[in-house]
Amino acid sequence: MEAIDLVKINFNPEQLKLLNVCLAFLMFGVALDISRKDFLYVLKAWRSILVGLISQLVFLPVLTLILIYLFHPPVSVAVGMVLVSVCPGGNVSNFMVHLAKGNAALSVTLTSIVTLGATFLTPVGFYFWASFTYGEAFLNQELSVSPADILKTVITLIVIPLVIGMMFNTYLEALSKKIRKPVKTLSILIFIAFVVIAIFANLENIVEHVSKIILIVILHNGLALLMGYFFARLCRCSVYDARAISIETGIQNSGLALIIIFNFYDGLGGMALITACWGIWHLITGGLLSFYWSQYKVGSSPKM
């Protein structure tokens, strides 16, 4: 067993609760700019939904296996990569798509579908894709995701903030316009705080082991973002939708992955470290990409 397989990362469950509150606030800020007509458009854009699901549920795990075979990382790192790839899109992805001037309604739809399906998709996908790696030894424990916990997550972090934000936008339009800018500013500050806190909470382990995994994390995340975008464009999705699909593919719910790792693998080794590093790095790359795209507004026509 390699040294990285014995690493323990700092993870405080109480911090996760605070993070969830912050994510709910981000979702509220996103919802201030979403109306019912946006979801009516999404319902008609079945192709974009299908493309987004294929990109995240099929192509991302396949990309993960290719990188594992190319780099031959330690067993725990490889299995951790697979776990990240089969988790739902991160809730912060909705905020990023909103910032990127992409289709936030499509982003919310994809996040909701995959998160609701995580009860089945995450454990089954993990066992299926990990069986193609050399990490079968890590598959001897029962892996399950509580339907009640998943439903609670969706309702708390997505549904409630979304409904409240849309109600503000529909019935309190004047107030909505007044608070939209300060809420957006505060959301960006919260987003930056995520990155800073995540780095300092695990600084010692990151410094010691980052050289062993940083290239894999950068390639894994970067290629996921690129793959999502160009696959969407290849399928003739609009730029507006492709931005959402790109971010949904490259921003994963590493928080859920960490919860699984701590519940079933005692926070062991490279699994936890690769997940933690992914969770930090995707905030940075997703934020930079969203900021870049925010400088170039696109239309919402499917023909673009």
Q: What is the pLDDT tens value at each position of the chain, 304 positions in all?
A: 455 555 555 556 666 666 667 767 777 877 776 667 666 766 777 889 999 999 999 999 999 999 999 988 888 888 889 989 988 877 678 888 988 988 888 888 888 788 767 777 888 888 888 888 865 555 555 555 566 665 676 677 777 887 888 888 888 878 888 887 788 778 767 766 766 776 676 677 667 667 778 889 999 999 999 999 999 999 999 899 999 999 999 998 877 777 677 666 665 667 878 887 888 888 889 989 998 998 877 754 444 3
What is the architecture of the domain spanning 3-294?
Answer: Up-down Bundle (1.20)
Determine contact, residues 78/68, Cβ cutoff 8 Å.
yes
State pTM to two decimals: 0.76
User: One-letter amino acid identity for 15?
Assistant: Q
Cα-Cα end-to-end distance for the chain: 51
Tokens found for residue 134: 């050399």
Residue recorded with tokens 């996103």: 30
Candidates 111, 88, 6; CA nearest to 260 is 88
Determine contact, residues 264/130, Cβ cutoff 8 Å.
no
Give residue 208's Cα distance to chain centre: 26
Strand partners of residue 268: 8
Burial of 232 per CB tally in 10 Å (0-12, 13-18, 19+): buried
- The pLDDT of residue 144: 54
Q: Please, which residues have CB within 8 angstroms of residue 134's CB and are 6 or more apart in sequence?
A: 75, 78
Residue 219 CA to residue 281 CA, distance in Å, equals 11
Candidates 129, 182, 118, 190; CA nearest to 154 is 118
- The pLDDT of residue 1: 45
Determine contact, residues 96/146, Cβ cutoff 8 Å.
no
- The pLDDT of residue 301: 41
The conformation of residue 166, written as its DSSP 8-state character, comes to: H
Backbone angles phi, psi at 268, to 5 degrees: -80, 130
User: One-letter amino acid identity for 241?
Assistant: D
3-class DSSP assignment, residue 231: helix
Orientation of helix 104-116 relative to helix 92-99, angle to 10°: 160
Q: What distances in angstroms separate CA 238 from CA 47, 50, 137, one per listed residue?
A: 11, 14, 43
Tokens found for residue 93: 């992805």
Tokens found for residue 197: 């806190």
Q: Where are the domains of the chain?
A: 3-294
Residue 75 CA to residue 86 CA, distance in Å, equals 17
Tokens found for residue 50: 């299908």
